[in-house]
Amino acid sequence: MPIENLLFEVLPDATWMATSPGRVNLLGEHVDYNHGVVLPMAIDRYVKMAVKPREDDRVILHALDFGEIVNFSLADLTQKRDIKGELLPNWALYPASVAWAYQKAGFKPGGMEAAFTSNLPIGAGLSSSAAVELAFAEYWKTQGEWKIDRMRMAEICQHGENAYVGVNCGLMDQFACAHGIARCALLFDTSSRAWQPIPLPLNTAIVIADSTIRRNLSGSDYNLRREECLLALALIQGKKADIGSLSEVPLESLDDMASFLPPEIMKRVRHVVEENERVKRACGYLMADNSVEFGKLMEAGHASLRDLYQVSLPELDALVNSAMQIDGCYGARLTGAGFGGCTVNFVKKDQVEVFSNTLKATFEKDFGLTVKVYACSASRSVSIERIDQ
């Protein structure tokens, strides 16, 4: 059954339908909050949301994937409680954060009732949270007829996730959901906000392997890594006041910094600086249809996330190692924050089925877990349409 039909069963008098994609990051992990360049793409797996406006300030949410309903007021979002005074469940913090951030930005979101579901695996590193945020943001922007562009909308959602939910994410996830283009990755400079589409080689496919191991970013070492990067920047600025972010550190200066940075902090800096350089090189390879060299950069990126940034797990390492032994795989790496979630694989298009089946069989044999594998395409950005039942 199409997921839209499930939404109409819950909300038969809906008047709007929003479609918001997840994203996968091909290269440039943990660089966005260090003001570097990243290479994500929106994917053809989505959050779908049916909505009808309300005349009061209530927000009623039907989360089909959790089997839960939440009802809260827009009049007092700071308490993070529903109308009965109970704390909002974690999933409801994301739409509430968008309303809160819009209010902080000077906008007035209206009451609504919404039903939403997704074919994105939750907590897998494919930005299901950003997809939810952008679906609500696009609805409120459209309903209010607010004249804000996609970048500003993404920034508002990021602020909500940072300050309201408590996850200190960078802008990459919200940017990708808001700017996706079919058949293209997105080269995004998180410092200047400049970006451009990078066409993907026609004979390749993106295959995502979900380890099924989940993590909670607000309670994981994700925020610790951000704190370590801030500490590193402060120490570097004590020696070089002109450095504004870790991504501005020259590659040739890394070895000199080892003399005054603690070893663990030095690892974080080296990952950020070298990963930033990998993204810049990778775009040239993609535009030249050089999938082999692009794949090598993915492998190097995973090794860096494993050894320097230390956000991988044995299961993710095994998925990457197994993938690289299969014919037709150019490159593989963990994608997203790490600590669980997915790997992304760059594969010959005519080898996708064999690759997927082989990877699943190997992982189940080694870990006793059933890995979920998705072949994905680069997708368009969040959209909303008026619907007539």
Residue type, 26: L
Specify the amino acid at residue 362: T
What does R_g of the chain's alpha carbons equal in angstroms? 21
> Buried (b) or exposed (e) across 281-305, using 16+ Cβ within 10 A?
ebbebbeeeebeebbbbbbbbbebb
- The runs of H, that is alpha helices, within the chain are 3-10, 90-104, 128-144, 150-160, 172-179, 222-239, 254-257, 263-287, 291-307, 314-323, 352-367
Total Cβ atoms within 10 A of residue 261: 20
In angstroms, the CA 74 to CA 65 distance is 23
DSSP-assigned letters across all residues of 74-119: TT--TT-B-TTSPBPPHHHHHHHHHHHHHHHTT--PPPEEEEEEES
DSSP symbols for 31-77? -GGGT-EEEEEEEEEEEEEEEEE-SSSEEEEEETTTTEEEEEETT--
| Residue listed under structure tokens 């999933």 | 91
255 catalytic? Reply is: no
Specify the length of the chain in residues.
389
Say which of 173, 210, 327, 366 is annotated catalytic: 173
Q: How far is CA 142 from CA 14, 21, 107, 134, 382, in A?
A: 15, 18, 12, 12, 12
- Report, as residue numbers or ranges, the catalytic residues: 173
